[in-house]
Amino acid sequence: MANTLLGPLSGTDRVDGLLDDGAWIAALLEVELALSAVAVEQGAVTEHDADAVERAVAAVAGVDPHALAAESVEGGNPVIPLVKRLKAAAARIQPGAERAVHPGATSQDVMDTALMLLTRRAGHRVVADLTACADAAAALAATHRDTPCAARTLGQQALPTTFGLVAATWCTGLDRARAGLDRVLTALPVSYGGAAGTLAAVHPHGPAVADALAARLGLAPQGVPWHTERSRIGELAGALGVAAGACAKPAGDVVLLSATELGEVSESAPGDSSSMPHKRNPAAAVTARGAAKRAPGLVATLLAGAEQEFQRAAGAWHAEWETLVALLRVTAGAAARLRVSLDGLQVHPEAMARNLDLAAGAQGHGTGHAADLVDTVLAGRPA
């Protein structure tokens, strides 16, 4: 999952440690442990048995991911062999305690809930980087509120604007994407429905167990089980895709404005070339753009999986796990690398003035209206 060679340059290493095999196993066990604990609270299992489960979780925590992966092939997901290991460990610790493992749950409940935990943790890191990117863009907007530069439409110079308004526009998109992703992360739900999504195995405790599990894990209540109602996965995919796109916009502008013929901005730590020592490549913006370009296909895959048949899907659900993790990684990469690009971005007003002179007559239009828009954007930012 993690890529040691390419992860740092694409920025995906920002969340790799939160999404790797070890993080997956830890999240699955966290769900199982929480499930046993809340089942005690609701009277579904005994406290004595649940104590043995806690010790079993500690015993199983060091499982070899490769061994667990091999055992997962037959059943189709890693929860099945993990639960078998947990039950065996609990029975060794205390005969009969295995009944407190996985009470009333199905493998999808544990997989979905663990994925929500992983998503929340990685997603909060993306939100932090989006916030930093927006703050950097806002600082550029304030500093260059009145710095005239060429507005370009259809690749050609149009009328003058200010670089402050260019940066304020970046800031607006980043702020909107951050707020949207934050809302979705706050609403990530627990999953607990049992074999057919009816909570039959723990009747009449099912809804109470589900709500208590959500509270213990810090997730949102589910309402009703959502095994094949995947609109929330679609909302999450959309929010991550929008965030990646919000990063792609300023990254693309920085790449273009850094071109030798324009020279209007440059990164504070530009990259070099293996064969052309004169080059100063906007490497952070380039790699932010590269990460963001991977997002739309992943979003499309998740949206295509919204149609999941009957009460448990065959294939569409399975397609979500690696796809969502990949989308989290590339969106995190885009935000992390854009943050590097915008922090300390060097702006060259003399080059902007020189380029403005190329458009005859355009200088006759004032830029006060652009500066006023900068003030509006900055005044309206969230505290």
How far, in Å, are 102, 166, 354, 356 from residue 263 at the CA level? 61, 16, 10, 12
How far, in Å, are 26, 62, 176, 202 from residue 38 at the CA level? 18, 24, 37, 12
Burial 17-52 (b: 16+ CB within 10 A, else e): ebbbeebbbbbbbbbbbbbbbbbbbbebbeeebbbb
Task: With beta carbons less than 8 A apart as the criterion, state whether 150 and 264 touch.
Answer: no
pLDDT at 271 over 70: no
Please count the structural domains in the chain. 1
Decide if 229 is inside a domain: yes
Decide if 273 is inside a domain: yes
> 205 versus 259: which is more confidently predicted?
259
What pLDDT was estimated at residue 310?
94
Decide if 10 is inside a domain: no
Q: What integer is the mean pLDDT of 93-110?
A: 95
Map tokens 């442990």 to a residue: 33
Residues noted as catalytic: 273, 312
Neighbours of 106 (CB within 10 A): 22
Decide if 13 is inside a domain: no
Task: With beta carbons less than 8 A apart as the criterion, state whether 56 and 90 touch.
Answer: yes
> 317 versus 382: which is more confidently predicted?
317
| Beta pairing partners, 152 | 157
For 132, the domain range is 106-379
Confidence class for position 228, pLDDT limits 50, 70, 90: very high
Q: What integer is the mean pLDDT of 13-32?
A: 96
pLDDT at 90 over 60: yes
Map tokens 């029975």 to a residue: 91
- What is the longest distance spanned by two Cα atoms in the chain? 88
| CB-count burial class (<10 Å; 0-12, 13-18, 19+) for 282 | buried
Decide if 41 is inside a domain: no
Rg, C-alpha atoms of the chain? 25
CATH number at residue 254: 1.20.200.10
Q: What is the mean pLDDT of the chain?
A: 93
Q: What share of the chain is helix, strand, coil (3-state, %, to 5)?
A: 65, 5, 30
What pLDDT was estimated at residue 275?
39
Question: The pTM is what?
Answer: 0.94
| Beta pairing partners, 347 | 265
Q: What integer is the mean pLDDT of 41-51?
A: 91
Cα 255 from Cα 279, distance rounded (Å): 13
Q: What integer is the mean pLDDT of 319-339?
A: 97
Decide if 132 is inside a domain: yes
Backbone φ and ψ for 157, nearest 5 degrees, come out as: -65, 140
What pLDDT was estimated at residue 278?
47
Decide if 84 is inside a domain: no
Confidence class for position 328, pLDDT limits 50, 70, 90: very high
Percent of the chain predicted with pLDDT > 90: 86
